[in-house]
Amino acid sequence: MSYLETTKNVYKEAALTPDVGLCCTTNPIWELPGLTIPKIMQEMNYGCGSTVHARDLSKNPKILYVGVGGGMELLQFSYFSRQKHGVIGIDVVDEMLEASAKNFIEAEEKNDWFNKEFVDLRKGDALNLPVDDNSIDVAAQNCLFNIFKADDLKKAIAEMYRVLKPHGRLVMSDPTCEQPMNDTLRNDERLRALCLSGSLPIAEYVKMLTDAGFGTIEIRARKPYRILDPKNYPTEELIYIESIEVAAIKDPMPEDGPCIFTGKAAIYYGDKDFFDDGKGHTLLKNQPLAICDKTAQALKDLGRDDIYFSESTYHYDGGGCC
């Protein structure tokens, strides 16, 4: 049995018998005017963060969500795209699609604005999406990409890139881990399916995205997720896993490399009202400006003694230099 078959079986079980402890997110359930999320959707929220952000979802976007879970994020996306088939939900597990469709009937009863036709549920594989090229404004996946091994992950990211419109965005939440994992953990198919042993370091995760052609990367959040300890897992050391929320934007790749925002900022405190580097970056006096890592290094290389640079906070919410 391949690791992907093991994954399908894990989520078939989770569809038939909801498993509240399967994944663990510290995100509070959204409370928006008129939005009521059925309890069953909350119980089947098999993610490690959130991919639903209002600033991504203006002007009734066409949305794709891969790995439907119980339908909670599909419902949340529908809140911002109230049109027939405005949200496409794709899953390879028949039982999960059936459970999600059933949950939408309850969601329709609890939300007078919601119509289950807002969501187009499709059987499909993340490695071969049944979606047209350049047709999606916002694509999303939550705690899915970390399951894939390297070659399959490249395919999954390439598929998301293919279906996005120019300047469209791929919004993700995945576990990450900066510590090395032994081969026993890496090759444990069930632990990989449970979103644990496939976790990558952030730099490697981001490189997979930029290698696919995404010209702008935003790391929006970095949070504690899980512990793999020697008492319960085949490891001699305690391994700390975090979850990150990331947006990869289908911008053209700059000649000098991608813009990767990891939460750095620059503050100019010189004698003038502002500092302009002549390359599109203007720093107002004593006003922090969010900058990508590339710009931070370029400004540091100027050797000035009147610009302060913060370290990466791994939290970025827009308003930056690029």
319 φ/ψ sector (left φ>0, alpha ψ -120 to 50, else beta) = left
Answer whether 0.75 is exceeded by the pTM. Answer: yes
Q: Which residue type sits at 113?
A: W
**Roughly how many angstroms between the first and final C-alpha of the chain, as a whole number?**
46
Distance (Å, whole) CA 196 – CA 320: 32
Quick check: 11 pLDDT over 90?
no
Quick check: 25 pLDDT over 70?
no
Distance (Å, whole) CA 192 – CA 185: 8
Structural domain boundaries in the chain: 3-250, 264-310
What is the average pLDDT score of the chain?
93
* Bigger pLDDT: 17 vs 252: 252
DSSP letter assigned to residue 226? E
Q: Is 199 exposed, middle or buried (0-12, 13-18, 19+ CB in 10 A)?
A: buried
- Cβ atoms within 10 Å of 280's Cβ, excluding its own: 9
Q: What confidence score (pLDDT) does residue 282 get?
A: 94
Quick check: 45 pLDDT over 90?
no
Judge contact between 23 and 11, C-beta under 8 A. Answer: no
pLDDT tens digits, 102-123: 999 999 999 999 999 999 999 9
What crossing angle do the helices spanning 94-110 and 72-80 adopt, rounded to 10°?
50
Question: By percentage, how much of the chain surpasses pLDDT 90?
Answer: 84
CATH superfamily of 3-250: Vaccinia Virus protein VP39 (3.40.50.150)
Half-sphere exposure of 26 (CA within 13 A, CB side): 11
Mean per-residue pLDDT, 36-48: 90
Distance (Å, whole) CA 272 – CA 284: 9
What are the φ/ψ torsions at residue 89 (nearest 5 degrees)?
A: -115, 125
